[in-house]
Amino acid sequence: MTSAAQTPTDPLHLAVALDGAGWHPGAWREPDALPGRLFTPGYWVDLVQQAERGLLDFVTIEDGLDPQSDHHFSRDWRTDRVRGRLDAVLIAARTAPKTRHIGFVPTVITTHTEPFHTSKAIATLDYVSSARAGVRVQLAARADTAAHFGRREIPALTREQLADPAVQAKIEEHFDEAADYVEVLRRLWDSWEDDAEIRDVATGRFIDREKLHYIDFTGRWFAVKGPSITPRPPQGQPVVAALGHASVPYRLIARSADVGFVTPRDRAHGERIVAEIRAGQQLAGRPAGDVHVFGDLVVFLDDSRAAAEDRRGRLDELAGVTYASDAHIFTGTAAELADLLLDWQQAGLSGFRLRPAALPHDLARITDALVPELQRRGAFRTAYPAAKTSLRGLLGLPRPLNRYALA
């Protein structure tokens, strides 16, 4: 089985991050945008099928528990932006049966949801997708979001307060909570052994009760008895992903995730990030092959750099703001993007998650221009491998052994 700790000459892994009409706030006003279809299943099916035609590893689907906002720490109440979402897990469940190979990694907000519910939903998605499910765990740190639930109080923050040691300590607590959340997910997925279902009509035994296990997890934030009500997923454990920008979330990736999304500014920065995550894995007792590190980029792709720059400028004008992102913003041609990806791969990144600035335009450029360019360079697959039908298989990740069966 191929290790996730790939050498720089290994083929790239590619994913796309789907969000509304695209990552640029003015994208919904583009001539080829489809704002009237954003809340229809056909819109999402078309996008994912386009990604699958490009042989991509998986799609991620953004989600949240409050309307989108241009401000990180509060609502903006703007009416000239896409606002509102469909549930990411339900989009994946609706779309997966319309595809055969591509993986699905919907976002779940861990701060205000229960891991028992999420474990069941993602296990179900793994069955619905025939072993192509994952989950991206994300925190919610806004006070107005917490007010929807009334179960915990999160103080209102500003960017300037982030350097406060007390705020940093609270952030670390939230990420420790997310790590426990993932641990509960994994234990619940293991709470049924693979052969727990007997389904013997003659004897009347459907399950072997001895192969269902209490997980008995008790921590600071969760106390979960188990077992799950859903049999062990086809992948054993669906793929867990997380996004990180700094040391605290890098530790979450290192100890808890199968795939980490990071936002390097350049190749040297990417090397430092990968080294920090690999060191964290070692401290957590996890071998390097257990975790992929993907670089995130927002992409404006066109046949010429001038055309891409003009389009980005037009979108900025429509949105009334110069677009900025937590991730590196690439503006240019498919060949230029291929050069950048192969250069940054040398930093130890095993793949990239591309955020299309405008949909469907930039997704089509990824699948119809970037992928053929990488294929010409021998850097990307020309077909989905017949022997690797699960998302874990596609990523070269082993199927986890069941901890309770081993015990």
Average pLDDT for 312-332: 97
Residue 13 CA from chain centroid, whole number = 13
* Strand extents, DSSP E, 169-325: 197-200, 205-207, 217-218, 223-224, 239-244, 259-262, 292-301
Question: Which pLDDT belongs to residue 7?
Answer: 43
Mean pLDDT (whole number) for 155-180: 85
- H-helix or E-strand containing 41? helix 41-53
Percent helix, strand and coil across the chain, each to the nearest 5: 40, 15, 45
- Decide if 188 contacts 214 (C-beta within 8 A): no
Whether the Cβ atoms of residue 58 and residue 103 lie closer than 8 Å to each other = yes
| All structural domains of the chain | 13-152+239-406 (3.20.20.30)
Round to whole Å and give the CA distance between 104 and 48: 9
Exposed, middle or buried: residue 194 (CB in 10 Å: 0-12, 13-18, 19+)?
A: middle
Over residues 318-330, the mean pLDDT reads: 96
Query: Which two tokens mark 175?
Result: 């990420």
pLDDT confidence band for 2 (50 / 70 / 90): very low
Q: Which pair of structure tokens corresponds to residue 281? A: 């894995």
Mean pLDDT score, 338-350: 98
Place of tokens 């430092």: 272
pLDDT of residue 6: 46
Q: Which band of pLDDT confidence, cut at 50, 70 and 90, is reported for residue 404?
A: very high
Measure the CA–CA gap between 34 and 29, rounded to whole angstroms: 9
- Residue 313 confidence (pLDDT): 98
Alpha helices in 245-333 (DSSP H): 247-256, 267-283, 305-319
This prediction's pTM: 0.95
pLDDT at site 8: 43
- The answer on pLDDT for 56 being more than 80 is yes
> Which is it for strands 223-224 and 239-244: parallel, antiparallel or unpaired?
unpaired
Query: In which band, very low, low, confident or very high, does the pLDDT at 81 lie, cut at 50, 70 and 90?
Result: very high
- DSSP tag of 210: G
Please report the pLDDT score of residue 9 as a whole number. Answer: 57
pLDDT of residue 141: 77
pLDDT in tens, 178-210: 999 999 999 999 999 999 999 999 999 999 999
CA quadruple 363, 367, 369, 371: dihedral sign: positive
Q: Sorting pLDDT into bands at 50, 70 and 90, what band is 162?
A: confident
Is the model's pLDDT at 77 over the cut of 90?
A: no
Alpha helix stretches (DSSP H) within 320-355: 334-345
DSSP 159-219: GGGGGSHHHHHHHHHHHHHHHHHHHHHHHHHHSB-TT-EEEETTTTEEE-GGGB----EE-
β-bridge pairing 217-218 and 205-207: unpaired
Residue 85 identity: R
Question: Which pLDDT value is given to residue 4?
Answer: 45
- Single-letter amino acid, residue 23: W
Per-residue pLDDT of 274-296, as tens digits, reads 999 999 999 999 987 889 999 99
From the list 222, 27, 21, the residue with the least C-alpha distance to 116 is: 222
pLDDT at 144 (0 to 100): 80
Whether residue 43 is predicted with pLDDT greater than 80 in this model: the reply is: yes
Q: How many CB atoms lie within 10 A of CB 175?
A: 19
